[in-house]
Amino acid sequence: MRQSPQQGNNRTGIVASGRLGEEMVAATEEFPPSSPGTAQAIAEVRIADAQNGESLGETPPPGSLVDKAKAAVTAVTGGQPTLLMDKLGERLAFEHAGARLYEALLSKHRAYGTFSGGPGAEDLLRILTEEYEHADLLERAIKELGGDPTTVTPSANLAANISAGLPQVLTDPRTNLLQSLEAIIIAELADNECWTALAELVQQAGHQELVEECREAIAHERDHLRQVRLWIASGQGRTTRDDSGAEISEGADGDEFTFAEDGPVDREGYVVSEEDRAETREAAGSPQAGKSGKGRPEAT
């Protein structure tokens, strides 16, 4: 099964329209806009409406929704309890959604087969199993902290909207396995980012046992991301460099998960100039400064 697009009669570009395209441009010269201004006009309305005080919703107070007589409730007292419950709910919803994504990916595998260097069914089943396990862990944690794991928290709702396009790609019969992996990697990137943030919040709240469980989940998620990257690279016929700090490298200590060390962005996702990068290396006395992933909690 083909994993890359073939040449064909794509009509979307203006060049494909020939003389009709030129007429489109000519029309805009004859008929000017009815109102002056720029796209900033839309921004003004967005800003005004954003200031009306509405929000996406709130998180129920921990401990209010479960029968304390039946559950061993540990009140969330440290850190930011409301934010923690919000983010636990977000991860749980995302793991449920992610499980359905991997189920859809398995269908792609059955429908299209794999490609050289691509995933086997057992690989996908293993990741799917881990997504289920993460959901179990989160459900248990929310209950133990006195929350209701069936609540759609504001962050769960937000995450579902952010990733709403993913099932659309994965369940479309016309997308192949490789295209589906390009959707999955978005979920895996979000998973890596958000599990790390969750671990920090759990740490702040002082739930050491849960921190350990989060770290195990982070290790899984990093492995998922690494694998998906490698599968996509193979599917696209890219060389998977492993020692030069290139984008799909796992890193010598197995700790790399999102951004390349010499890439144009740092671990927080901010753009880094060549000058900044040189300064950082100099300060660390090493051309590989930043490799150990400082600025985020130890997770392995």
Partner 1 sequence: MAINLLRDTGVPLEQQRFTWHDLVQAPYSKLMDDAFTRVRVILMNGIESEALRFGHACARMNAPLQRALADVRRVEQHQQTMVNWLNPADQSPLETTIGFEQVAIEVTASVAEKEPDPYLAQVYRFGLLEDFDHLYRYSALMDRLQGKDANTLVQSYSDIVPGRPTALEHRDPLDDLRKPYDRGRAAPLTKLHALTIMAGEHQTHDYYMTIGPMFADPVARQLYAEIASIEEQHVTQYESIIDPSETWLEKWLLHEAGEVYNYWSCVESEGNPRIRAIWERFLDYELGHVRFVARLFEETERRDAAEVLPERLPEPIRYESHRDFVRETLRREVTLSAAGTEFVDREQESEATRVYREQMNSEGSPSETVAAGYVWRSGTELTDPVKRVTAASPSAKRRAA
Shortest distance (Å) from residue 173 CB to partner 1:
5
DSSP-derived secondary structure letter, 265? B
Give the residue, chosen from 22, 23, 44, 172, that forms a contact with partner 1 under the rule CB under 8 A. 172
Q: Which helix (H) or strand (E) holds 160?
A: helix 154-162
Q: Of these, 1, 16, 43, 164, which contacts partner 1 (CB under 8 A)?
A: 164
Size of site (CB under 8 A) for partner 1 = 39
What gap in Å lies between CA 271 and CA 56, rounded to an integer? 30
Q: Which residues contact 226 (CB under 8 A, 6 or more apart)?
A: 248, 250, 257
Binding of partner 1 at residue 125 (CB under 8 A)?
A: yes
**Residue 126 lies near partner 1 (rule: CB under 8 A):** yes
DSSP SS3 for 114 = coil
Distance from C-alpha of 60 to C-alpha of 191, rounded to nearest angstrom:
24
Nearest Cα to Cα of residue 197 among 257, 262, 276, 126: 257
Closest by Cα among 102, 113, 117, 115 to 220: 102
State yes or no: residue 129 binds partner 1 (CB under 8 A). Answer: yes
At its nearest, how many Å lie between partner 1 and the CB of residue 253?
Answer: 29
Nearer to partner 1, 135 or 248 (CB): 135
**Under the criterion CB under 8 A, does residue 200 sit at the interface with partner 1?**
no
Q: By CB under 8 A, is residue 71 in contact with partner 1?
A: no
Residues paired with 271 in a beta bridge:
265
* 139 interacts with partner 1 by CB under 8 A: yes
From 154, 236, 289, 291, residue interacting with partner 1 (rule: CB under 8 A)? 154
Among 87, 91, 96, 220, binds partner 1 (CB under 8 A): 96
Note whether 171 binds partner 1 by CB under 8 A.
yes
Asked if 240 is part of the footprint of partner 1 (rule: CB under 8 A), the reply reads no
- Shortest Å, Cβ 179 to partner 1: 12
The residue among 241, 19, 228 whose CA lies nearest residue 126 is: 228
